[in-house]
Amino acid sequence: MSSRRQLRRDRWVIGDKTFIWHPFTQMQEYANEDIIIVERGRGNYLYDVNGRKYLDGVSSLWCNLFGHRRKELDRAIHHQLERIAHSTLLGITHVPAVELAEKLVAVTPSCLTKVFYSDNGSTAVEVALKMAFQYWQQAEGKRWASRQTFLTLDDAYHGDTIGSVSLGGVDLFHSLYRPLLFKTYKAPSPHCYRCPLGLRPDRCDMECVDEVENILKRHQRRIAALVMEPKVQAAGGMVVHPPGYLRRLRDLCSRYGIFLILDEVATGFGRTGRLFACQHENVEPDFLCLSKGLTGGYLPMGATLTTDRVFEAFLGRYEEFKTFFHGHTYTGNPLAARVASATLDIFQRDRILDKLPGKIAYLRRKLQSLADLAHVGDVRQMGFMVGIELVRNKKTKTPYAPGRRIGHRVCLEARRHGVLIRPLGDVVVLMPPLSITRSQIDLLTDAVRRSIRSVTEHVS
């Protein structure tokens, strides 16, 4: 590296550590780390200011689908920018928002007919919460107006705004804020590796579903909706649900007359092998929350889809005040809507979903070599969503002490092998772009295996 370039890098490092407060980052420890400054991206790789390249093993936090600098997405933003960058949706509309809504309704479950835009995954969930709550306050003769709270799962994560945090069940992220939160009911997560009911997978008949029904029996009049991620609880530790679990919860919601809100912020847009995870079990939700891959990883945007039944409950004369009084300055931003529309076009034109099964199977075979490592307790996979749980004792499933930061150290070691990944505690997460190649899967899994062995072999 030239001396001038080194001086520029040093200045950026000082500026970063002086002025930026990073999300989900202990800044005291970050200040002592050799940080990566990303300068550009191309395909499935990121390049830092030193010229080193790294495989983007978590899709730039689970949102990039087709790699960086995808020409169709670049072009969509450029063409829209020549027209207008932003115009409000409050009382008027614009072409990209209309065209994207038409496409979303066409590819999501058939019951979903209305699209409400927002800015990110948290706000997409907040929109669904407020719609579900308000529905029961002004619909069906208000006989269910007592439905003012929600049922969620342990280890749930639905975002970082106060409403979505209220739904959460990850103590590390959420417990501190409990005095700010509204009450919810919590059901056991179907975490087969660490079953909250103390059952073994070979002796399990999904008794955790019975726990959900018990809550609904006791509190049917209080619960507006069940909120969950379908098939995989992502930030909760990549917890993969057993087959049939989602369908059984859908049936319970129908039986007890409450809404089902599916948070597909992380699981949507091909991550599980289908366009949406709920399609694995032919489940139709009352609300579907989308973000992350919605724009191919280019721009922030959220969308909440719902049914005619919900929408019609908000219709009335102005003085009835049934309006949904919610919105954001950048709701339905034209640039984001245009690139999201182009993202859906790529899925259809390039038959992206047809190309996934072979790569998913290949990734599964490569992960088998990780499962044999002495300190890998569990390898969980659903499509391109992978969680590798590291444990101090494999037989007893004893975790490492948090201060060891084993997952974090494994991810730092992986950088030395040309791979960028992030952990959830001591669960190492892999969520590569859908465009990853088999040779890049080799690089990803080999780097992770070597990093786990390097970090754990001398730690007791």
pLDDT digits (tens, 9 = 90+) for 137-148: 999 999 999 999
Per-residue model confidence (pLDDT) at position 460: 64
Q: At a CB cut-off of 8 Å and minimum separation 6, what does 402 contact? A: 425
Per-residue model confidence (pLDDT) at position 1: 61
Helices then strands (H, E): number in the chain?
Answer: 15, 17
Nearest to 249 by CA among 187, 293, 199: 187
Q: Rounded distance, CA 155 to CA 139, Å? A: 32
For the chain, list the domains and their CATH numbers. 36-69+353-456 (3.90.1150.10), 74-349 (3.40.640.10)
Q: Are 168 and 186 in contact (CB under 8 A)?
A: no
Listing DSSP states for 24-70 in one string gives: T--HHHHTTS----EEEEEBTEEEETTS-EEEETTHHHHT-SS-BT-
The two beta strands, 259-263 and 422-424, are: unpaired
Nearest to 70 by CA among 273, 285, 313, 350: 350
Please, what's the largest Cα pairwise distance for the chain?
74
Per-residue model confidence (pLDDT) at position 206: 86
Tens-digit pLDDT string for the chain (460 aa): 678 888 899 999 999 999 999 999 999 999 999 999 999 999 999 999 999 999 999 999 999 999 999 999 999 999 999 999 999 999 999 999 999 999 999 999 999 999 999 999 999 999 999 999 999 999 999 999 999 999 999 999 999 999 999 999 998 888 899 999 999 999 999 999 998 888 877 777 788 999 999 999 999 999 999 999 999 999 999 999 999 999 999 999 999 999 999 999 999 999 999 999 999 999 999 999 999 999 999 999 999 999 999 999 999 999 999 999 999 999 999 999 999 999 999 999 999 999 999 999 999 999 999 999 999 999 999 999 999 999 999 999 999 999 999 999 999 999 999 999 999 999 999 999 999 999 999 999 999 999 999 999 877 6
E strand map for 177-276:
185-187, 223-228, 232-233, 239-240, 259-263
Count Cβ atoms below 10 Å from residue 459 Cβ, excluding itself: 13
Per-residue model confidence (pLDDT) at position 395: 94
Q: Rounded distance, CA 392 to CA 398, Å? A: 6
**CB-count exposure of residue 349 (10 Å: 0-12, 13-18, 19+):** exposed
Q: What is the phi/psi pair of residue 352, to 5°?
A: -60, -45
Per-residue model confidence (pLDDT) at position 385: 98
Q: Are 445 and 363 in contact (CB under 8 A)?
A: yes
Q: Are 75 and 268 in contact (CB under 8 A)?
A: no
Q: Rounded distance, CA 89 to CA 94, Å? A: 8
What tokens appear for 215 in the block?
Answer: 């809550």
What tokens appear for 120 in the block?
Answer: 């990110």
Residue type, 223: I
Per-residue model confidence (pLDDT) at position 199: 82
